[in-house]
Amino acid sequence: MRAASVPWWFLLLVSLLLSPPSWAQGKPALAITFEESAVVASGLSPGKTVVWFGVERQVDAEYSISLFQRYQVGTVAADGTARFVLDQPVAHRSIWTAVDLDTGGFGVAAPQGYRLNRLKNPPCRLGQGLASRPDEILDDRPYLMGLVVRPTVGAWSFAGGDGGARDEDGVNDGHLRFALSKLDPLPGSPAAPAKAAADDLWFVIDPQRMEISVHKGGAAQ
């Protein structure tokens, strides 16, 4: 008895359902996959630098919420892959980004079965500082975590809430302001620049709603 052939569209549908929700820019397209306790990126520049950023939101049986922000800088293997190994299983509710520092190509993904909520019209925007004042990342949400990458130069992290120590006006007034010059450099990066550049990449995550927006030169992508 001959086995029934499977339509191509059925195989495509199954592959899409089994693939983690993702989004990428750059050539070749950077892909992110998940292992039990690791995140894997492919399509990177061999021997160059990869920058990782992830936010995990865990809810326990008592409905207590734990937030983890993950940053790492690593070297890409000869086959163009890199792995971010965790000391615990990857959280189901999480968003991950891998950036090729050499080219600016990036991938964004969430584990299979979790949504990837990408904001195309986010409240996050660039505030240009006058004269010698630094540019700022502006937003109206209460708390954000993020990563800024300037291809071939470096990467910097930030996190904070409205009225907190990182908010430039220090007032809980519905306006969150991060000075670019005060962002935290990741290993191997210089001090954060005071002014935004046209090829700067921002990855901004609202950890309460688990939403991500990506910006280039301050403009949402």
Token couple for 37: 């306790």
DSSP, collapsed to helix, strand or coil, labels residue 191 as: coil
- pLDDT at residue number 66: 86
- Which of 26-35, 90-99, 108-117 is predicted with the least confidence, judged by mean pLDDT? 26-35
Which helix (H) or strand (E) is 18 found in, with range? helix 8-18
Q: Is the pTM of this model over 0.85?
A: yes
**Integer Cα distance of 217 and 150 in angstroms:** 10
- Residues 177-204 have pLDDT tens digits of 999 999 999 999 999 999 999 999 999 9
10 Å Cβ neighbour count for 19? 12
* Residue ranges covered by each domain of the chain: 21-220
Token couple for 69: 């922000």
DSSP, collapsed to helix, strand or coil, labels residue 184 as: strand
> Residue 181 carries which DSSP code?
G
Pairing of strands 211-216, 117-118: parallel
Which strands sit side by side in the sheet containing 31-35, from one edge to the other? 31-35, 38-42, 82-85
Among candidate residues 205, 144, 208, the one with its CA nearest the CA of residue 177: 144
**Rg of the chain taking only CA atoms, in angstroms:** 19
Q: What is the mean pLDDT of residues 201-220?
A: 95
Q: What is the mean pLDDT of residues 40-58?
A: 97
